[in-house]
Amino acid sequence: MALPFAVLISGRGSNMLALERATRDGRIDGRITAVISDRADAAGLDAARGLGLATTVIAPAPGEDRDGYGRRLADAIASSGAALVALAGFMRVLDRGFVRAWQGRLLNIHPALLPAYRGLHTHRRVLAAGDARHGCTVHFVVEELDAGPAVIQGRLKLRPGEDEAALSARVQRLEHIVYPRAVGWFAAGRLECRDGAAWIDGRPVGPAVVEEKT
């Protein structure tokens, strides 16, 4: 049976669109039950509506704490029938209760080669450090930010003189390859989170790797 999953966004939603494409062309045996955003102005919402996907805005209420927000989010996800949650540029830190409830069924994509460069502004920091390599990581979400078991990475070599915008665009192209692959594995029952590691086909991975085609 096709895996029902929810995608959480805050912005453009290009990863959400890549996931949706993969449900249509068979790379993911799944269907998106809800696209949820914490911001009504997220551009990805219009794109999702245009594709006929159900969209929900769950904006933080004035004075609401992280737990309260997490409960409303969990309710919306549960009522959509999702069995997996894919964070795709969702810019809010989730509370412990939410993460525990969804542990092993909660994926995120991070624009760096974790464990390097957790947090924000990864491309800028990689360029400032003069690193030779960069990329993105799909990982299971745990309570510690950007610290869960890595499933798959897209990797590239930096080019001389490359700026932040160019680097970001190359990383995003890799994101659109590796995120559908990870969700596709999960939907096929090939990916799980166990003993603090990601397992694919019954073997711990550390993580799978896709190199940019040059």
Quick one: which segment of 29-37, 96-104, 108-116, 189-197 binds ligand GRF (CB under 6 A)? Answer: 108-116
14 near ligand GRF, judged by CB under 6 A = yes
- The nearer residue to ligand GRF, 42 or 71, going by C-beta atoms, is 42
- Give whole-number Cα distances, 39 to 12, 35, 111, 164, 172, in Å: 11, 12, 21, 25, 21
DSSP 41: T
Peptide bond into 4 cis (omega under 30): no
Active site members: 110
What minimum distance in Å lies between the beta carbon of 175 and ligand GRF?
Answer: 5
What track of x and - describes contact with ligand GRF for positions 150 through 179 (by CB under 6 A)?
Answer: ----------------------x--x----
Among 45, 53, 77, 89, binds ligand GRF (CB under 6 A): 89
Measured CA to CA in angstroms, residue 4 lies from 47, 83, 89, 193 at distances of: 19, 6, 19, 18
Is residue 137 involved in binding ligand GRF (CB under 6 A)?
Answer: no
d(CA 180, CA 174): 10
Answer for which of 4, 12, 76, 155 binds ligand GRF (CB under 6 A) is: 12
Distance of CA 89 to the CA centre of its chain: 7
* In the complex, residue closest to ligand GRF by CB: 89
From 22, 36, 84, 88, residue interacting with ligand GRF (rule: CB under 6 A): 88
Contact residue for ligand GRF among 111, 180, 184, 207 (CB under 6 A): 111
Closest Cα partner for 129 from 168, 158, 154, 87? 158
Where are the alpha helices (H) located in the chain, listed in sequence order?
14-24, 43-50, 66-80, 96-102, 122-129, 164-187
Which residues make up the interface to ligand GRF (CB under 6 A)?
A: 9, 11-15, 44, 88-89, 109-111, 136, 172, 175
